[in-house]
Structure 1
Amino acid sequence: MYLYHYGLRELPFTLTPNTDFYCDLAGHHAALEVLLTALKTGEGFIKVVGEVGTGKTLLCRKVLNEIPDYYVTVYIPNPYLSPHELREAIASELQIDTSVATSQQQMTKIIQQKLMEINKLGRSVAIILDEAQALPSESLEALRLFSNLETESRKLVHLVLFGQPELDEKLAAKEHRQLRQRITFSYNLDAMNETEIATYISHRLQVAGYKGPAIFSASVVRAIYKSSRGVPRLVNVLCHKILLLCYGEGTHQVQLRHVRAAAADTEDATKLKPLNWLWPVIAAVVIGTAALLFVPKLGAGVMNAVQQWWSL
């Protein structure tokens, strides 16, 4: 592929949430600080919301890597689970034998006993759910009941939910008002701006082993920003395809045509206009300017036409 072409050790723009490629941009840094601070202070319920592709799963993995050692973590990446399945998943992560449980009430009691044992060791349990918008309402209520478990001085369970904006919509329902009121910290992940995209691309290339001169110019980064709208996942998809195109051509420096081609081949990316639209505009502007000098009324008409075309 293009690894040898650019002197890379590994692919820099894969979609797997590899924390080695975590880029400490302002938004993600702030979110990570909020999460770790909230966990260190023993807050019970934390929520992080972001659009598809904004890096929630990578941030979730980063939290799992950096969470204080006194936490026992329960990680549930796919929470489309019934209350029974959710309890089973939590019990499995805590290495609890649930074969003796004959009812949901008994299973909950067994889990609670395990939580008390962990608490006696001076530790706490953090249940971290990715894609939490997929949780059925009944399972959200089951989570709330787990968040009720506490001693006189500390909570036995701390909950961290990562989800898409649909999670907020679900929590806004009247039936979840008690759970909503328990959320002590929340953070919204935004898309990257143009400057952050430049940093992001450079960072991932360096982590992958690139040591040469810059291959993404400012104009190319601007085009990637317009096409991706700052969504990290789309930036990764576009950059991967762009480097493939450069490799196929035997070129090293990324050109705008590579961005346009990658955008045209990428679902959900904003398609970019080819440069062949530019020359008619330049010609029209030149003609309009000349007409303004010699035939004011005609010039005004031409310029109006150009402005209308530009707004299309």
Structure 2
Amino acid sequence: MYKAFFGLNDNPFSIAPNPHYLFLSDRHREALAHLTYGLGETGGFVLLTGEVGTGKTTVSRCLLQQLPDNTDTAFILNPSLTEQELLATLCDELKISYGDNPSLKQLTDLLSQYLLKNHEAGRNTVLIIDEAQHLRPEVLEQLRLLTNLETDTKKLLQVILIGQPELQQLLKRQELRQLAQRITARYHLLPLSEQELGLYVQHRLQVAGRHEPLFTAKAIKALHKATGGIPRLSNLICERALMAAYAQSKVPVDHKMVQTAAAEVLGEEPETARNWWSMVAGVGFVIAFGAVFYALQSGDKSAAEPATVQPVAASSQPVVTEPVSTEAANTELAGNGTAQSNSLGQRQLQRALEQSGNIDTAFAALLGLWNRTPYQDMSPCQAATLQGLACFQQQGNSASILRLNYPAVVYLHSGSTEAFGTLISRDGEELLLQLGEQQFWVSRDWFERHFSGVFEILWQPDQDASQPIGPHSSQPQLQWLENSLAMVDKVPARLVNGYDSQLEQRLKTFQRQHGLQADGIAGSQTLTQLGLYLSQSGPRLSSGEQF
């Protein structure tokens, strides 16, 4: 319904577990690492818990994609079973035949024979149970008995239990203490932080075909406040907010739309600004009346006079002037002069920030750094494309920009005002920021406090690396991929004759580090990230810092 309006080719916020939309935050990667470790040489039970909608199933599906080819997996989604039903379901998943009305012993024997044959054939067997908090204690004990089958070095059946926090309490029961001692790895998955949620939303939009920001920074903040960082709930609210924006023909989606959508999804009554201000006004009136009454009663005429509000100095001031020498700071006169200069510079910076509401002005400065010019009646990215450049939009923090080391158009905020600037250069912890026609050296701390998390850069892509690279690619393409990953890792490149396991693992590691789907295929997003690191063309924030 609204795809064409927003420039989307798919629904980005469906709650179906589509692997194309896989987003691994740092927490999800850590959870995946714990599961992978738990399924190591020794095996046993692995535990993954988390609140509803935090992405436990997403992590498990990602784990399934990374399991070796010599692994047979059984996935049980409905664990509300008896011991016999669970073993029968496990046999069905592993395609083990059994007769009518088999006994518990017959099912156990069949599974034991299967596990032994698999081990002799060099294959592993993994059982994954979702919603495991619904397992009965006697069923868990039956699973423990099944895992008793082992060699001198490993268990023949490895079990992953995925469930809500209640599963942790279940495993603390006295009759399950033997199973609890066999858990080789456990991880509790927490919701996304506000920054991670912004990256999550932008990632899904990019996969759906839109690379420009669609939600404001305040909208992301409101979304995190409403959902607590739970991805599934965020999808529902984002979907409803997009429908509202489409109905109003409004872009971008602001915090008011998100708040209204959250109220509809969660079934809560939204708080109105009018009620809030009424409450503040009422409290203020009571306080003012009390102060005047006290003044009249005490006979202190001056107490009834209105008080003068003194400005409070900020605890951390932006660096907007040249650094002050230590010698000058030692004298009172020089100190006063520095304070006045800093104060003047701060007012100029604040005024420039409030007047920098035009993103085209910020892009014009960025295009100028590339010796390119904006075109009339054309978006900045369209103009850049016609002049041999490409736009790349991402969400993150100052570290994300400095790691790429490109000048960038940055989305800023000053209170409720949205602003746009151009990050031009870097000198240690000081950043050169252009706002309109003025340039200011600001501290990294100041920048973080005013940065919304969205930035866009221009770069010159390598036309020779435009096709996806995978197991069936040609040897020159595979060698290019090996060389590129080696340059990023700053290690010597190998001579490769094919798509071997080492190249695949190095590629997957790079993909995980950049929040990409670790599928071992260097598609458009992976190639873009590689190209950004490897490109030698164009300006940089800091000379001599490539990665």
Q: TM-score range by the shorter chain?
A: 0.7 to 0.9
Match of 1:204 in 2: 204
Runs of 5+ consecutive residues of structure 2 not aligned to the other structure: 297-302, 305-547
Cα gap change, 1:128 to 1:292, in 2 (>3 Å): same
1:243 is aligned to 2:250: no
Structure number with greater Rg is 2
8 Å CA contact 1:101–1:107 kept in 2: the answer is: no
CA contact (8 A) 1:60 1:130 kept: no
Q: CA deviation at 1:106?
A: 1.6
User: Does residue 1:227 correspond to 2:222, yes or no?
Assistant: no
Query: Displacement, 1:150?
Result: 0.7
Amino acid at match of 1:90: L
User: What is the Cα deviation at residue 234 of structure 1?
Assistant: 1.0
2-side partners of 1:118 and 1:101: how far apart?
25
Letter in 2 for 1:104: L
Is 2:260 aligned against 1:261? yes
- Asked if 1:132 is matched to 2:147, the reply is no
Does the C-alpha gap of structure 1 residues 192 and 102 become closer, same or farther in structure 2, counting only changes over 3 Å? Answer: closer
**Secondary structure of residue in 2 paired with 1:98:** coil
Q: More displaced, 287-296 or 10-19?
A: 287-296
The Cα shift of 1:152 comes to 2.4
Which 5+ residue runs of structure 1 have no aligned equivalent? 301-312
User: Hey, what does 1:275 align to over in structure 2?
Assistant: 273
SS at match of 2:266: coil
TM-score by length of 2: 0.51
**1:295 Cα shift?**
7.6
Superposed CA RMSD in Å reads 2.4
- Matching residue's letter, 2:247: G
Deviates more, 1:144-153 or 1:285-294: 285-294
Distance across 1 between alignment mates of 2:124 and 2:277: 65
Name the CA distance, whole Å, in 2 between partners of 1:50 and 1:176.
Answer: 20
Distance 2:295 2:118 in 1: 84
Moved more, 10-19 or 94-103: 94-103
Counterpart CA distance in 2 for 1:100 and 1:53 is 39
Give the C-alpha shift of residue 250 in structure 1: 1.4
- Render the CA deviation track for 1:203-237: whole Å, top value 9, x for unaligned: 1111111123x121111111111111111111111
> For 1:116 and 1:217, how far apart are their aligned partners in 2?
57
The 3-state SS of whatever aligns with 2:126 is strand
* Runs of 4+ more than 3 Å apart: 277-300
Give the aligned residue type for 1:117.
Answer: K
Equivalent position of 1:18 in the other structure: 18
Q: CA shift at 1:110, angstroms?
A: 1.0
* Alpha-carbon shift at residue 292 of structure 1 (Å): 10
Structure-to-structure mapping, 1:162-181, within 5 angstroms:
162-181=162-181
- Between the aligned residues of both structures, percent identity stands at 38
Per the normalisation by structure 1, the TM-score is 0.88
Measured in 2, the distance between the counterparts of 1:296 and 1:68 equals 79
Task: Give the distance between the partners of 2:40 and 2:21, measured in 1 at CA.
Answer: 25
1:293 deviation in Å?
Answer: 9.6
Residue range with higher mean Cα deviation, 179-188 or 272-281: 272-281
Residue type of the alignment partner of 2:51: E
- 1:245 deviation in Å? 0.7
Residue 8 of structure 1 aligns to a residue in which SS?
A: coil
Instruction: Name whichever structure is richer in strand by fraction.
Output: 2
- 8 Å CA contact 2:259–2:270 kept in 1: the answer is yes
Greater mean alpha carbon deviation, residues 110-119 or residues 58-67:
58-67
C-alpha deviation, 1:279, in angstroms: 3.6
How many Å separate the matches in 2 of 1:246 and 1:27?
31
After the TM superposition, which residues 1-312 of structure 1 pair with which residues of structure 2 at under 5 Å, given as runs?
A: 1-99=1-99, 102-212=102-212, 214-267=213-266, 272-280=270-278, 283=281
Corresponding letter in the other structure for 1:193: S
Per-residue deviation, residues 27-59 of structure 1 (Å, max 9, x unmatched):
111001111122233321100010111111111
Shift of 1:283: 4.8
Rounded to whole Å, the distance in 1 between the matches of 2:198 and 2:289 is 42
Greater fraction of residues in helix: 1
1:40 and 1:68 in contact (8 A); partners too = no
Q: 1:272 to 1:193 in 2, by over 3 A?
A: farther
Label 1:276 to 1:38 Cα distance change in 2 as closer, same or farther (>3 A). Answer: same
Q: CA deviation at 1:284?
A: 6.1
**What secondary structure, in the 3-state scheme, does the structure 2 residue paired with 1:63 have?**
helix
**Structure 2 Cα separation of the partners of residues 297 and 136 of structure 1:** 71
The higher relative CO (CA closer than 8 Å, separation ≥ 6) is in 1
| 8 Å Cα contact 2:216/2:255 also seen in 1 | no
Output the CA distance in 2 between the equivalents of 1:253 and 1:238.
15
Aligned with 1:80: secondary structure?
coil
